[in-house]
């Protein structure tokens, strides 16, 4: 393992295919950062089971989807460490040790937990696995001694928790074993869904997937939320909050065309159909090479999987160093 580069740690739960929101929000940055940093990308299959314990095939199948999605956007499995959580059981061991440093009250007030419990209507019957999830994530981060964790605003508390727990552990045993990570802000952004919701999200059913075919893509683009107050193509339209134009800004490389469309839209000189037809072409141009690479990934999936398994082994060795230092500090090392 390269020790000269700073370590970045991120991950995804394998619960579905990745979409444009993931691309804008995190994947494109992971690709950019994989040269400069020692990048750890974890497939959080154990945590995905929390919501899907009765449907393990779903999680197992989605590991493959995730690997193909990663490959298709340009994540290089020889640069970034892509690994599977369940192959690094030290994470669970570290989690148990960390759990002494967090109170039940603290977890009950955790904003992410509160929001998710309300969304899933689980306040009255919270599975323990769901409740301790924030601490388990701290173990993910601390086990590889991450320097940086790229997060959007909503995930910032996770990094703060990891820092606090690391500090408490170190000060309690007067050691310097757990490394305090820092949040890397500003690289995570939200892309709105096709329905105009601020976030593209599988559960909202408003996604364009990286692996959508042209027909699906076209259908979705023609349902994209534009300016609801505009009835006729001759009415002056609004650009702000108009999802079609937000997508144009992100994905259409022909900036002149976008400026011309915006100008005519504001003047009431272009219809939604032309805006969307051009958006379809832009997105097709953007997605074609990604879908091409996905086919490549499909063909060499066994090879990619075996790389992921051997990387997981390396990460596991790395994590066992952390475990061993922690055990020494807690006087439970007997070897
Ligand atoms: N919670 C992330 C998700 O919902 C996945 C994840 C698990 C993660 N552990 C992490 C992200 C540690 C960053 C750091 O997909």
CA 215 to chain centre: 26
Ligand 1 binding pocket includes 137 (Cβ within 6 Å): yes
Nearest-CA residue for ligand 1 atom 9 is 137
**pTM for this model (two decimals):** 0.94
CA distance 146 to 11: 12
How close is the Cα of 13 to the center of ligand 1, in Å? 7
C-alpha 165/C-alpha 160 separation (Å) is 9
**Any idea which residue has 């508390």 for tokens?**
157
Distance 93 CA to ligand 1 centre (A): 18
H-state helical runs in 185-300: 214-222, 243-251, 255-267, 272-299
* pLDDT less than 50: residues of the chain: none
In the 8-state DSSP scheme, what is residue 78?
T
The phi-psi region of residue 281 (left if phi > 0; otherwise alpha if psi is between -120 and 50; otherwise beta) is alpha
pLDDT at 187: 62
Task: Give helix then strand counts, H and E, for the chain.
Answer: 15, 5
What are the pLDDT digits (tens) for 155-210? 888 899 999 999 999 999 999 999 999 999 866 678 999 999 999 999 899 999 99
d(CA 152, CA 170): 27
Say if CB 36 and CB 176 are below 8 A apart.
no
* Any ligand 1 atom below 6 A from CB of 44: yes
Q: Which of 19, 21, 47 to mutate to test the pocket of ligand 1 (most atoms within 8 A of CB)?
A: 47
The minimum-distance atom of ligand 1 relative to the CA of 141 is: 12
Ligand 1 geometric centre to CA of 105 (Å): 22
User: What confidence tens digit (pLDDT) does each residue in 299-312 have?
Assistant: 999 999 999 999 99
Task: Answer yes or no: are the C-beta atoms of 206 and 194 closer than 8 Å.
Answer: yes
**What separation, in Å, do the N-terminal and C-terminal C-alpha atoms of the chain show?**
25
Is the CB of 140 inside a 6 Å radius of any atom of ligand 1? yes
**Cα 151 to ligand 1 centroid, rounded to whole Å:** 9
Torsion angle defined by CA atoms of residues 110, 111, 116 and 121, in that order, rounded to the nearest 10 degrees = 80
- Ligand 1 pocket test, pick from 17, 44, 183 with the greatest ligand atom count within 8 Å of Cβ, gives 44
- pLDDT of 188 reads 64
Task: Give the helix/strand (H/E) hosting 56.
Answer: helix 56-73
Which residue's CA is minimally distant from atom 3 of ligand 1? 12
Q: Which two tokens stand for residue 31?
A: 């690709």
Q: Over the Cα atoms of the chain, what is R_g?
A: 22
> What does DSSP assign to residue 331?
T
Q: What is the dihedral sign for C-alpha 119, 114, 60, 145?
A: positive
CA within 13 Å, CB half, 164: 14
2 alpha carbon – ligand 1 mean position (Å): 23
Q: Residue 281's Cα: distance from chain center in Å?
A: 27
Cα separation, 199 vs 70, in Å, equals 21
Indicate the length of the chain as a whole number: 335
């Amino acid at each position: 393992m390269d020790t000269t580069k700073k370590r970045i740690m991120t991950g995804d739960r394998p619960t579905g295919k990745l979409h444009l929101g993931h691309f804008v929000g995190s994947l494109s940055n992971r690709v950019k950062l994989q040269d400069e940093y020692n990048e750890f990308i974890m497939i959080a299959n154990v945590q995905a089971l929390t919501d899907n314990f009765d449907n393990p095939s779903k999680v197992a199948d989605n590991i493959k989807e995730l690997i193909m999605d990663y490959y298709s956007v340009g994540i290089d499995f020889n640069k970034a460490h892509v690994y599977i959580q369940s192959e690094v059981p030290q994470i669970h061991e570290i989690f148990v040790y960390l759990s002494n440093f967090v109170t039940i009250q603290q977890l009950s007030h955790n904003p992410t937990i509160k929001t998710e419990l309300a969304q899933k209507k689980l306040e009255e019957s919270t599975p323990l696995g769901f409740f301790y999830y924030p601490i388990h994530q701290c173990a993910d981060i601390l086990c590889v001694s991450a320097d940086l964790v790229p997060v959007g605003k909503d995930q910032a508390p996770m990094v703060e928790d990891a820092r606090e727990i690391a500090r408490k552990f170190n000060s309690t045993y007067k050691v310097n074993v757990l490394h305090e990570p820092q949040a890397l802000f500003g690289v995570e952004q939200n892309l709105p869904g096709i329905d105009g919701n601020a976030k593209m999200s599988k559960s909202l059913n408003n996604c364009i997937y990286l692996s959508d075919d042209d027909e699906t893509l076209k259908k979705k683009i023609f349902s994209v939320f534009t300016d609801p107050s505009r009835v006729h193509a001759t009415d002056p339209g609004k650009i702000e909050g108009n999802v079609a134009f937000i997508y144009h800004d992100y994905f259409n490389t022909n900036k002149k065309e976008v400026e011309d469309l915006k100008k005519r839209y504001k003047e009431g000189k272009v219809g939604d159909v032309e805006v969307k037809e051009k958006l379809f072409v832009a997105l097709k141009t953007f997605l074609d090479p990604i879908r091409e690479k996905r086919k490549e990934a499909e063909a060499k999936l066994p090879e990619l999987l075996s790389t992921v398994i051997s990387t997981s082994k390396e990460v596991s060795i790395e994590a066992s160093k952390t475990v061993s230092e922690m055990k020494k500090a807690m006087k439970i090392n007997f070897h």
